[in-house]
Chains A and B, each alone.
Chain A
Amino acid sequence: MTVASVLRKFAFAYGPAFAVIYAVARARGFALMTVYPSLGIVLLGMHRSRDVADPVLDFLAPEMWWYGWTATAAIGALVVGLVAALLPDRWMCRFWSGWLWVIPCCAMIECVYLAIPWLRR
């Protein structure tokens, strides 16, 4: 196993895994952290302002999950990439390289689906 093949296996597993995990995290709310920019605090996990405050005061402490979703996807894909890097080279032959762009495109379509309520409001 050469360094180049290990890198290739890692990178080719990382991209699709990142897209899938991001899409799942986005749909299911698996954010590694929640950022409250107006308060300057970061909480582990997914939190909603309305859990603790009156809904009409939501604008006082807007929450941000994008950083959490991205972190979840980055860490999850890192694990998948490291596992893939350890697999024998012959397993790569079975991997259709088109998945590299097909899976992210599917994840993007799923994100569009999740945004439909905003777009139709």
Chain B
Amino acid sequence: MVTALLIVHGLVAVALLGAITHQTLAAWAPANARKTSFFARFRSVPSAKFANAVVVLYVLTALLGAIVYLYFKIDIGPALERDRHWQALGLFDLKEDFVSIGLGLLPAYWLCWRHPLGDPPGRTCDALTAVLAFIVWWGFLVGHIMNNILGFGS
């Protein structure tokens, strides 16, 4: 059951990673009219259309992660402490902190993309998206590190 939850958590995280990466690149490096390369096509998506998906996927990923975290604390955490993986545990602590802060940002992020022509001015929307993208990438990579330390099913 926990393994299934962890896999679903990972799959939803992959979808979130794709959506937020598309949106961030489209916001910060919009493609010109001639989309000649793969990278240009990758960042030529309509950014605002991703906001709803990002919010739903972020909340879903965080919820699944919060459930899996209970089992992590019982089964994985003590083993990592026993083997002195302090840096990995520190990185994981940061992951949970960043994810929480990202949760708090979601209402402002959503509203930003809902009203792109009004407030807030400047690149606030893009900056918020970049912060969320950093959090998602951090969470994804650290999650992978934690999973790989002990190995699947160990």
Q: Which A residues have a C-beta under 8 Å from some C-beta of B?
A: 4, 7-8, 10-12, 14-15, 17-19, 22, 26, 35, 37-38, 59, 62, 64, 66-67, 69-70, 73-74, 77, 92, 97-98, 100-101, 104-105, 107-108, 111-112, 114-119, 121
Contact = CB atoms under 8 A, between A and B. Distances in A.
Contacts of B90: 115-119, 121
B97 A111 contact: yes
Interface string B68-85: 011101100110010010
A62 B74 contact: yes
B124 to A, nearest CB: 4
Contacts of B100: 18, 22, 66, 69-70, 73
B104 A62 contact: no
B101 interface: yes
18 contacts: A8-B115, A11-B108, A11-B110, A12-B108, A12-B111, A14-B104, A19-B101, A35-B70, A37-B71, A70-B103, A97-B122, A100-B128, A104-B105, A108-B97, A111-B93, A116-B90, A118-B89, A121-B87
Given A97-B121, A115-B94, A15 B105 contact: yes
Contacts of B103: 18, 70, 74
Contacts of B130: 101
Contacts of B28: none
Interface of B: 66, 69-71, 73-74, 77-78, 81, 84, 86-87, 89-91, 93-94, 96-98, 100-101, 103-105, 107-112, 115, 119-122, 124, 127-128, 130-131
A104 B66 CA distance: 21
A62 B78 contact: yes
Nearest to B107: A11
